[in-house]
Structure 1
Amino acid sequence: MATHKILVIDDSRVIRNMVRDMLPKGNFEVLEAKDGVEGINTIYQQRPNLIMLDFLLPRMSGWEVFQEIQAKPELRAPLVLMSGRKEEVTEKIPEPFEYFEFVEKPFEQKELVEAIKSAMQKFRKWPQPIPAATATAAVAAGSADVAELTQKVEKMQAEIDQLKKQMGQLVAFIKQKLK
């Protein structure tokens, strides 16, 4: 059974087959989607380890799929955007592409493999979300820290008030002796 899933989202069967044939043979399963809606549904259901996304798609564009992946970090995976017109991509997403890779169609096998390798490296740099349980624990710990600090501040304020009182008494005593 394949341990890695690669999702190819492209409206062209020729491109989907070409990508499948160009991928090095290995321990992975190639999933296919012919439009953005099918692609995003497959991402939700299958959680692929790599997404190859055409930018111009019917029903839901590659741009819209990309935005949904951006908005929901749990959907993220190494990403290779594909398009025959790079200017269409850079119009929406300015270069440099920090967290994903781009390959211009038509591409050769070497270009595809390099884009996948680069996408894997860039993905590691993508800021990962803080899990809700960790965030809740951090808030709880922060609340406990705030309560502890508040107590310390109150204690210090009482000590300061006591020192002011003592200082006032000392000044009064010194003034009385100087008369």
Structure 2
Amino acid sequence: MATNKILVIDDSKVIQKMVREMLPPGNFDVLQAMNGEDGLEMIRKEHPNLIMLDFLLPRVSGWDVFQELQNISKTEGKMTPLVLMSGRKEEVAEKISEPFEYFEFIEKPFEKKSLIGAIKSAMAKAKNWHPPGGGSSSTSGGAAAGGGASAAEIMAMKKQIATMQAEIDALKKQVSQIITVVKQKLK
């Protein structure tokens, strides 16, 4: 019986088959999901020992799955080893800055030796992961002190700040319009 569950989330049956054939026989139970939505469901149900995630997926993108994995890791207090796959590394690096600290990246197509190396590296990187926020909640200098936010968390925060700023600007405009109407009514 297989001792380790590997979840391959990729919309390409070719990649799924390739991964299955490249892994040593008997050691792994290879689970498969064709999209991010199904992948997240399998992560929650099956608790795989390793996840291989395509960055470009239908329904729920690889980026969204990655962000949800970060949330799951924070909740559970441990990181599931992750190998992020893409045919274009620059698409990944646009959203997640290098060096990739807690997961491994492999560019498609890949050879067996590269896959095995990426899996070993992902497992080692996941062991080095520490839950964020193990102390001060200060945002200034936290990253420099070694206990700061990961690049993915920083990107998520920047996105959230930009959204909030847009909402603030829209509210300011609405308040300005209300003040103008009130002033006209008072005249």
Please say whether Structure 1 and Structure 2 have the same fold, judged by a TM-score greater than 0.5.
yes
Counterpart-to-counterpart distance in 1, 2:129 and 2:79: 9
Give the secondary-structure state (helix, strand or coil) at the position aligned to 1:44: helix
Preserved contact between residue 7 and residue 30 of structure 2 (Cα < 8 Å): yes
Counterpart-to-counterpart distance in 2, 1:40 and 1:24: 25
Match of 1:83 among 71, 82, 86: 86
Structure 2 counterparts to residues 51-62 of structure 1, below 5 A: 51-62=51-62
Matched residue, 1:4 = 4
Query: Over alpha carbons, which structure has the higher Rg?
Result: 1
Matched residue, 1:106 = 109
Deviation at 1:26, TM superposition (A): 3.3
Give the secondary-structure state (helix, strand or coil) at the position aligned to 2:2: coil
Counterpart-to-counterpart distance in 2, 1:113 and 1:126: 20
Deviation at 1:24, TM superposition (A): 1.6
Match of 1:126 among 121, 125, 129: 129
| Count of residue pairs brought into register by the alignment | 130
Give the secondary-structure state (helix, strand or coil) at the position aligned to 2:57: coil
Q: Which amino acid aligns with 1:120?
A: M
Q: Which amino acid aligns with 2:56?
A: L
Counterpart-to-counterpart distance in 2, 1:6 and 1:81: 13
Counterpart-to-counterpart distance in 2, 1:110 and 1:9: 20
Matched residue, 1:50 = 50
Give the secondary-structure state (helix, strand or coil) at the position aligned to 1:72: helix
Give the secondary-structure state (helix, strand or coil) at the position aligned to 1:91: helix
**CA distance 1:27–1:71, change in 2 (3 Å):** same
Counterpart-to-counterpart distance in 2, 1:29 and 1:90: 30
Q: Which amino acid aligns with 2:62?
A: G
Matched residue, 2:150 = none
Q: Which amino acid aligns with 1:111?
A: S
Matched residue, 2:69 = 69
Give the secondary-structure state (helix, strand or coil) at the position aligned to 2:25: coil
> What is the TM-score normalised by the length of structure 1?
0.70
Q: Percent of counterpart pairs with the same letter?
A: 68
CA distances 1:125-149 after superposition (whole Å, capped 9, x unpaired) = 111479xxxxxxxxxxxxxxxxxxx
Structure 2 counterparts to residues 14-33 of structure 1, below 5 A: 14-33=14-33
CA distances 1:99-120 after superposition (whole Å, capped 9, x unpaired) = 0000000000000000001001
Give the gaps of 5 or more residues in structure 1.
Answer: 131-179
Deviation at 1:40, TM superposition (A): 0.4
Matched residue, 1:95 = 98
Give the gaps of 5 or more residues in structure 2.
Answer: 134-187
Deviation at 1:76, TM superposition (A): 3.5
Deviation at 1:27, TM superposition (A): 2.3
Q: Which moved more, 1:104-113 or 1:19-28?
A: 19-28
Higher helix share: 1
